Amino acid sequence: MPTYRIRDAAELLGVSDDTLRRWVEAGRLHARLDDGRQVIDGAELAAFARERADEPDPNAGRLTPTSARNRFTGLVTHVTKDTVMAQVEIQAGPHRIVSLISREAADELGLEPGVLAIAAVKSTNVVVEVP
């Protein structure tokens, strides 16, 4: 039976290591020690992931549904605007995302350095959203 270290299980669930440790402490998941490290049984992790998928999404209603599957959350690091267009740079972890959007959209979203934003990527188009 496969097991997953806390760090790996957290990544698979899309949460932080600390969040997963809190869930273990609260009894939502069971972990055991293996060579001095906490691990979670793969079957239990899969069942938990399935249950969690049925939970209400805390972000529901915050973002417009989209068909884009590649989403990069990061900080806006630079915005260059002219009269019609804006170039927006987002640093999402090690990834630098650059998007060209209308100036009107950039203004409406309040995009400026330091703003948390999501780059939703589909094909060669980058859609910028804010949470």
- Written as six digits, the tokens of 120 are 């939703």
Q: Is residue 64 part of a domain?
A: no
Q: Is residue 11 part of a domain?
A: yes
Which CATH number does the domain housing residue 86 bear? 2.40.50.100
- The pLDDT of residue 14 is 79
Which CATH number does the domain housing residue 43 bear? 1.10.1660.10
Task: Let me know: does 29 contact 48? Beta carbons within 8 Å.
Answer: yes
Residues 83 and 123 in one domain: yes
Q: Which domain holds residue 105?
A: 70-129
Of 32-36, 64-68, 112-116, the one with minimum mean pLDDT is 64-68
* CA proximity to 78, closest of 63, 94, 67, 89: 89
pTM here? Answer: 0.48
Task: Let me know: does 110 contact 130? Beta carbons within 8 Å.
Answer: yes
Q: Is residue 63 part of a domain?
A: no
Q: Is residue 102 part of a domain?
A: yes
Residues 50 and 75 in one domain: no
Residues 118 and 87 in one domain: yes
Residues 47 and 76 in one domain: no
Q: Is residue 17 part of a domain?
A: yes
- The pLDDT of residue 60 is 53
Residues 48 and 75 in one domain: no
Residues 6+ apart with CB under 8 A from 115: 75, 76, 109, 130
Residue-averaged pLDDT of the chain: 84
Question: What percentage of residues in the chain have a pLDDT greater than 90?
Answer: 39
What's the domain count of the chain? 2
